[in-house]
Amino acid sequence: MPANRPASEEPRLAVTRPPRVRPRRRVLALALPVPIVGLILLMATGNLLLPLRQVVTIEAKMASKRDFFQDPEVERLLMKHGFRVHITSMGSREIANQDFEGYDVVFPSGQPAADLISRERAESNRPVLLYRPFVSPIVLATYRSYAEALVDADVAEAQPNPGGRPMYYTLEMTPFVKLTEEGRRWSDIDIRGHGVENSNKILAQTSDICESNSAGTYLGLVAFVDNDNDAPDDEKEAARVAQEIKPLLVEQGLPSSERAETYLSPDGQSIAPISVIYEHQFLAHQIRHRAEKGAPDDERVLLYPSTRFVTEPQLVALTGDGARLGELVSEDPELQHRAMELGFRARNGNSGGTTGDELAEFLTRRHIPVPTTSSNDTRAVLPPLPLLEQMIKTVGDCPDRKGDVR
């Protein structure tokens, strides 16, 4: 088997035509002097899709969106199109922090890290192509007892579920953040009345704010709430808000990684009652649970922050093969359908307000409650990238990024 053939001996296929370039779902990172040259270079390294004859191994760096690429069905579909994806896993901001030499794509879970990358590459005249195959809101995942305690404390409200106990709750962010601010503990809001003993402080745990998109996004959310539902828009304001919210966000102490894995683990409730994760991670669990056990997981429930934010993971193509992969996952109907089955929302026809119709239909078919959004909910806005970066560094005491001039 010619498995270890050195690269130089690989038969090269002639490029007969460049990958189709359509403007939809694709953003050319910057309108700069040389993007055309870069684009041509990207195209020149592209190859034809030749299933079975030619399997391209894509080297990829990603964070939570590896859930998609590691799904066996997605792996099968990609293989059908001649792709295999090798994943290096790390936090989104950390992806932007490290070198991407030797990688075809990087796939941070949100826009800020992707912006950092495309800005940097553009500055070095190596522009990238960006693809946004799907979106997913940031949510606070918790357990029944904790959600009900928050309801009793008038901080959360259950979304009615005709078929049984509620699976979704709306969490009023202002009073919730205030609980943390006042140092209130779970025992103070009678968690014992819900059958659980816990005298830890009430807060939502995030992964490392210096490394992860979900944690940085949650910071943006708390900042928005703290700043009277407005994103800080100058350095002075950002500095003030960062100082104000820092005590709330560092109260959890040393952060642990892999929030979703911890949340879904059997000991999850003991380890962290509330975890900041993405909606797709929760829905994927419920879809799987329903398929395997015949009913959704009744103990794990979701808190939708009243101030909502929908994250847009961006696949950053660094090579021609990367661009072909980005194109494929954004356009291929089978892969798009599978993304929905994994709990992602389609990007088009859904700018963050309501569940995509397709996802809603799918959940209904599987007898899984469909989350609803209230028209009262506020849509949060993240501060501009440099300010968000500044706030992340202040709150997380993060080490300087590579290439930082200051």
Partner 1 sequence: MRRGAVPLMPCLALCLTLMAAVLTACSGDDGDDPVRLRVLASPDLAVLAPLLGELKAETGVDLRLDPRPDAETTAPDRDRYDLAWLSSDRYLRLTARSAVQGLQRTATMTSPVVVGLQPDVARELRAKTPGGRLTWADIADAAATGTVRFGMADPRRSASGLAALVGVATAAAGTGGALRPGDVSCDRLRGFRSGQTLTADTSPALIDTYVDHQDEANALITYESDLLALNASGRLDDRLEVVRPEDGMVLADFPLLLLDAAQRAAYAKVTEWLQRDSVQQEIMRRTLRRPVSATVTRDPQLREPVGNALYFPDQPAVIDTLLADYGDPGRRTASQVVFLLDFSGSMRGARMAALREAFADLSGADATASGKFARFYRGERLTVVRFGGRVLEERTVTVAGPKDLRALADTVARGGYGDSTAVWSALDHGYRTAARELADDPDRAVSLVLMTDGENNAGIAYAEFVRRHKALPAPVRTGVHTYPVHFGDADAAELRRVAARTGGRMVDAADSSPSGPSGPSSLSEAFKEIRGCH
Question: By the criterion CB under 8 A, which residues form the site for partner 1?
Answer: 1-5, 7, 10-11, 52-59, 79, 84, 86-91, 94, 97-98, 102, 104, 183, 185, 187, 197-201, 210-211, 250-258, 261, 264-267, 270-272, 319, 321, 399
Minimum CB–partner distance for residue 76 and partner 1 (Å)? 9
Minimum CB–partner distance for residue 287 and partner 1 (Å)? 15
Minimum CB–partner distance for residue 247 and partner 1 (Å)? 10
User: Is the alpha carbon torsion for 173, 174, 177, 183 positive or negative?
Assistant: negative
DSSP character at residue 365 = H
Minimum CB–partner distance for residue 212 and partner 1 (Å)? 11
Helix (H, G, I), strand (E, B) or coil at 168: strand
Nearer to partner 1, 98 or 354 (CB): 98
State how far the alpha carbon of 45 is from the alpha carbons of 12, 19, 48, 82, 189, in Å: 11, 10, 10, 16, 60
Nearer to partner 1, 7 or 405 (CB): 7
Minimum CB–partner distance for residue 26 and partner 1 (Å)? 20
Q: How far apart are CA 172 and CA 244, in angstroms?
A: 19
State how far the alpha carbon of 91 is from the alpha carbons of 2, 339, 403, in Å: 35, 21, 18
Nearer to partner 1, 109 or 227 (CB): 109
Q: How far apart are CA 128 and CA 117, in angstroms?
A: 9
Contact 59, 79 (CB under 8 A): no
Nearer to partner 1, 318 or 387 (CB): 318
Nearer to partner 1, 2 or 160 (CB): 2
Nearer to partner 1, 187 or 390 (CB): 187
Minimum CB–partner distance for residue 326 and partner 1 (Å)? 14
E strand or H helix at 157: strand 156-158
Buried b (16+ CB within 10 A) or exposed e, 335-345: bbebbbbbbbb
